[in-house]
Amino acid sequence: QVQLVESGGGLVQPGGSLRLSCAASGIEFSIYVMAWYRQAPGKQRELVARITSGGMPNYADSVKGRFTISRDNAKKTVYLQMNSLQVEDTAVYYCNGIFSRLGYWGQGTEVTVSS
């Protein structure tokens, strides 16, 4: 059974930081491209950051310089370090894993940026 389980969301003030984690099970994690998406209320889900199996990251323009994606293949976990958070970053954040035609989603973790 494949599971992607996110954690680390919560309420933070503007300018603050959070670190999201996504623990995978049931997949050969090291060969998967892992990504974080987010969906704000009333908006479409959008890609935030992606990291290849080889560890190469790329980011949405809106988070470049503020967010960092990383992975620990030994722990089967992908992380999203979010710094300088803005109100506009408020969303449910989803973990995604893709390999060839296989794709999986986590259940999401909510991030609220508010003063």
Residue 14: per-residue pLDDT: 98
Query: Would you state the pLDDT for residue 30?
Result: 95
Q: Pick out the chain residues at pLDDT < 70.
A: none
Q: Convert the pLDDT of each residue in 22-36 to its tens digit.
A: 999 999 999 999 999
pLDDT above 70 coverage of the chain, percent: 100
Residue 3 neighbours by CB under 8 Å, 6+ apart: 23, 24, 25, 26, 106
Closest of 21, 26, 24 to residue 10, by C-alpha: 21
